[in-house]
Chains A and B, each alone.
Chain A
Amino acid sequence: MAVDESDLPFEHPLYDLMAKMPGLDLATTSVDKLLNWGVRNSLWIFPMATSCCGIEFMAAAASRVDMDRMGTIVRGTPRQSDVMVVAGTITVKMAPRVKRLWDQMPEPKWCVAMGSCAISGDFYRDIYSVIPGIDTVIPVDVYIPGCPPNPEELMGGMLALQEKVALKRAGLRVPPEVRPETAKMIKPRVGRAEDPTREKLIGHHQALQARTLDLTEPADLVEAMTPKAAADGDQEGGA
């Protein structure tokens, strides 16, 4: 049974202290605003730069555009970063590494998908070795379209992210603006990271893969891994 937690009383020693001390709640609110301002304006970037977009990312960090004036320092390590900018095509061989680097980043963290390849795979989308969009692996906050986007567009995306961070820290929800027909058109085989059916799908697909891997003949395995065979497998699993 689902419980609506908003009606439950919130009890914490700190909360009691704040309720007793006059003026402390006002102070904490002000400190919170200050912290939000600080978080918003010091988004340190971890560049997951794999291909062409990485060069435009470098151009954005270099002399003409100079993204650093927004407080976005580029760090080479995930452990000191707030934002992962995925700039470039992510392949099947690279995706586990991206996931691992994302898991190493401390909360709160955000992800920006820069360029068509990171958003949907672009024209590499249907190729055997390319994953159809980084949001099938990690959740994405801001999408910056382009092939590659100009440095100015990257700055626009970072400003949008600042806005989103401010809204989220203030407790407001930022609903994604996705047109249903577009979502249907770009639906990948494996669900996106925020798709509720994803866990079930991946579990099923992994089981299917494990079953097919028992085959000894490589040719059979290729056949088993093609989409048609996988679709048949889905029906079996359903029944």
Chain B
Amino acid sequence: MTLERPDRADPYLDLDEYEPEADLMVLNFGPQHPSTHGVFRVVMYLDGETIVKAVPYAGYLHRGVEKLCEKLTYAQITPIVDKNDYVAPMFNEQAVNMAFEALTGTEVPIRAQYIRTIVGEIQRVASHLLWLGTFAMDLGGAIGGGTSVFMWCFREREMILDLFEHLTGCRFHYNTHTLGGNRHDIPAGWAEKVHATLGHIAQRVDEYEAILDHPIFKARTEGVGVISAQLALDLGLTGPLLRASGVDHDLRRDAPYNIYDQLDVQVMTDTGGDCAARYRVRVREMRESIRIARALVDNVPPGPICGTKPIKLPVQTRVKDGQVYVALETPRGELGTYVIGGGDNRNASPYRLKIRPPSLHALSALPYVLPGHGVSDAVAILGSLDPIMGEADR
């Protein structure tokens, strides 16, 4: 690449002060575009083929979830937040329930913590599979005939959805976590199914790597969209984006929740900071998650799966004071929940509930990263950030 790219572009660039001779063109991208992964809009100012300034617009899927949660009781919120990050709903449920447990001081039995960890790791594999399929499709027909990787990844993702359907009865939005534990216990024969499915996927991951070890894929990802470690920290990027920039940070190891303090989680990092590094980190995380889930699923201790009985009545969850922040590591990074207690329904609702969306932080990197790249690289960069708009806009 011959283009000059500074470490960090100026997002507040005044276009009048940019070369007056330049004949700038405005290109609108989105909000409805197959490569925007939802509804997201970027207005790009182009000098020839090179992006000079990028102005993103979010909020096309703002559904007012935080306002809605202020009207519901703690036990009613779980199925609502399922729809935020619709590629990894298990983490959404767990994030709000962990925050409510911290607020109300509810203990979670050890068996429920095992189940939460296992379904979380399996969900991480499913989420990364979906990302890999759509990312390879975004990069176009050059790789293995266009939609091959997409079709392969969805084939394996369906197997994971079958696992969850066996466990919870639902294919997509599970509503399995609840305040103080889980609703669904592991059914008979589920562990064998997990071993069979994940063992199968572990072999298939090698196939994906083989097909994506391809000169065109490398040319379109290596050196494209470099995010330096300092910029990633300043922007609050988390998860694979941060680790691909070389920062060794993973909440599963560094601020453990569930039973992660008893596990030896290998944190996958890479130094490039470009799209290829983000791809490598996610593929390695898939292998690691498969390893963790397979190691745990045979050793789930017996016991209750929910504190005493599932909490359904608001009278059990009244909290007057207190503000908590609880975070966990999702496939996209740190999903935090900030809850202020003491709201409607005589203190059985949160006064204010704020969800810290990793996707919104990821998207805020675009004006810093896009300038200096060509238009075709914009699709690769946006895809490599793995944004889920339902979570970013809420």
Determine whether A and B are in direct contact in the complex, meaning some CB atoms lie less than 8 angstroms apart. yes
Scoring A residues 67 to 79 as 1 if CB is less than 8 Å from chain B, else 0, what string do you get? Answer: 0000000001000
**Taking the complex as formed, is A63 at the interface, i.e. its CB lies under 8 A from any CB of chain B?**
yes
What residue in chain A is nearest B33 (Cβ atoms)?
A76
Selecting from B62-70, B199-207, B367-375, the interface stretch reads: B62-70
- What is the CA–CA distance of A187 and B31 in the complex, to the nearest angstrom? 29
Check B61 against A52 for contact (C-beta < 8 Å). Answer: no
What residue in chain A is nearest B38 (Cβ atoms)?
A50
Check A52 against B64 for contact (C-beta < 8 Å). Answer: no
With beta carbons under 8 angstroms apart, the residue of B64, B86, B154, B158 that contacts A128 is B64
- Residues of the B chain whose Cβ atoms lie less than 8 Å from the Cβ of A88: 61
Residues B128-174 near A (CB distance < 8 A): 130, 133-134, 150-152, 154-155, 157-158, 171-173
Known contacts being A50-B61, A128-B64, is A150 close to B38, with CB within 8 Å? no
Check A59 against B154 for contact (C-beta < 8 Å). Answer: yes
**Taking the complex as formed, is A20 at the interface, i.e. its CB lies under 8 A from any CB of chain B?**
no
- What is the CA–CA distance of A127 and B151 in the complex, to the nearest angstrom? 37
Check B151 against A93 for contact (C-beta < 8 Å). Answer: no
Tell me how far the C-beta of B141 lies from the nearest C-beta in chain A, rounded to whole angstroms.
13
Query: Total contacts A to B, CB within 8 angstroms?
Result: 86
Scoring A residues 44 to 75 as 1 if CB is less than 8 Å from chain B, else 0, what string do you get? Answer: 00011111101110110011100000000000
- What is the CA–CA distance of A138 and B142 in the complex, to the nearest angstrom? 37
**Taking the complex as formed, is B389 at the interface, i.e. its CB lies under 8 A from any CB of chain A?**
yes
Check A130 against B155 for contact (C-beta < 8 Å). Answer: no
Check B38 against A48 for contact (C-beta < 8 Å). Answer: no
Check B60 against A54 for contact (C-beta < 8 Å). Answer: no
- Residues of the B chain whose Cβ atoms lie less than 8 Å from the Cβ of A62: 133, 150-151, 154-155, 158
With beta carbons under 8 angstroms apart, the residue of B33, B59, B158 that contacts A63 is B158
Check A91 against B155 for contact (C-beta < 8 Å). Answer: no
- Residues of the B chain whose Cβ atoms lie less than 8 Å from the Cβ of A47: 34
**Taking the complex as formed, is B32 at the interface, i.e. its CB lies under 8 A from any CB of chain A?**
yes
**Taking the complex as formed, is B39 at the interface, i.e. its CB lies under 8 A from any CB of chain A?**
yes
- Residues of the B chain whose Cβ atoms lie less than 8 Å from the Cβ of A94: 31, 39, 60-61
**Taking the complex as formed, is A157 at the interface, i.e. its CB lies under 8 A from any CB of chain B?**
no
Check A128 against B67 for contact (C-beta < 8 Å). Answer: yes
> By CB atoms of chain B within 10 A, which of A48, A55, A94 has the most?
A55
**Taking the complex as formed, is B80 at the interface, i.e. its CB lies under 8 A from any CB of chain A?**
yes
Tell me how far the C-beta of B180 lies from the nearest C-beta in chain A, rounded to whole angstroms.
24
- Residues of the A chain whose Cβ atoms lie less than 8 Å from the Cβ of B172: 52, 55-56, 148
- What is the CA–CA distance of A56 and B59 in the complex, to the nearest angstrom? 22
**Taking the complex as formed, is B87 at the interface, i.e. its CB lies under 8 A from any CB of chain A?**
yes
- What is the CA–CA distance of A62 and B161 in the complex, to the nearest angstrom? 14
With beta carbons under 8 angstroms apart, the residue of A59, A63, A64, A97 that contacts B31 is A97
Check A64 against B64 for contact (C-beta < 8 Å). Answer: no
- What is the CA–CA distance of A64 and B159 in the complex, to the nearest angstrom? 10
Check A97 against B32 for contact (C-beta < 8 Å). Answer: yes
**Taking the complex as formed, is B249 at the interface, i.e. its CB lies under 8 A from any CB of chain A?**
no
Known contacts being A94-B31, A147-B173, is A51 close to B60, with CB within 8 Å? no
**Taking the complex as formed, is B220 at the interface, i.e. its CB lies under 8 A from any CB of chain A?**
no
**Taking the complex as formed, is A89 at the interface, i.e. its CB lies under 8 A from any CB of chain B?**
yes
Check B173 against A93 for contact (C-beta < 8 Å). Answer: no
Check B158 against A59 for contact (C-beta < 8 Å). Answer: yes
Scoring B residues 60 to 94 as 1 if CB is less than 8 Å from chain A, else 0, what string do you get? Answer: 11111001100000000000100100110000000
Scoring B residues 28 to 47 as 1 if CB is less than 8 Å from chain A, else 0, what string do you get? Answer: 00011110001100000000
What residue in chain B is nearest A150 (Cβ atoms)?
B171
- Residues of the B chain whose Cβ atoms lie less than 8 Å from the Cβ of A28: none
What residue in chain A is nearest B58 (Cβ atoms)?
A93
Tell me how far the C-beta of B81 lies from the nearest C-beta in chain A, rounded to whole angstroms.
12
What residue in chain B is nearest A94 (Cβ atoms)?
B60
Check B154 against A124 for contact (C-beta < 8 Å). Answer: no
Tell me how far the C-beta of A53 lies from the nearest C-beta in chain B, rounded to whole angstroms.
9
Tell me how far the C-beta of A30 lies from the nearest C-beta in chain B, rounded to whole angstroms.
37
Residues A124-149 near B (CB distance < 8 A): 124, 127-130, 147-148
Check B63 against A89 for contact (C-beta < 8 Å). Answer: yes
- Residues of the A chain whose Cβ atoms lie less than 8 Å from the Cβ of B34: 47, 76
- What is the CA–CA distance of A59 and B62 in the complex, to the nearest angstrom? 24
Check B64 against A124 for contact (C-beta < 8 Å). Answer: yes
Check A127 against B61 for contact (C-beta < 8 Å). Answer: no
Check A89 against B61 for contact (C-beta < 8 Å). Answer: yes
**Taking the complex as formed, is B390 at the interface, i.e. its CB lies under 8 A from any CB of chain A?**
yes
With beta carbons under 8 angstroms apart, the residue of B64, B130, B152 that contacts A130 is B64
Known contacts being A89-B63, A93-B60, A128-B64, is A51 close to B390, with CB within 8 Å? yes
With beta carbons under 8 angstroms apart, the residue of A51, A64, A124, A150 that contacts B86 is A51
What residue in chain B is nearest A149 (Cβ atoms)?
B172
A-B contact pairs, 10 of them (CB 8 A): A49-B38, A51-B38, A52-B86, A52-B172, A52-B173, A62-B155, A93-B62, A97-B31, A101-B32, A128-B64
- A-B complex: 8 closest residue pairs judged by Cβ atoms: A62-B154, A52-B86, A127-B64, A63-B155, A76-B34, A63-B151, A94-B60, A51-B390
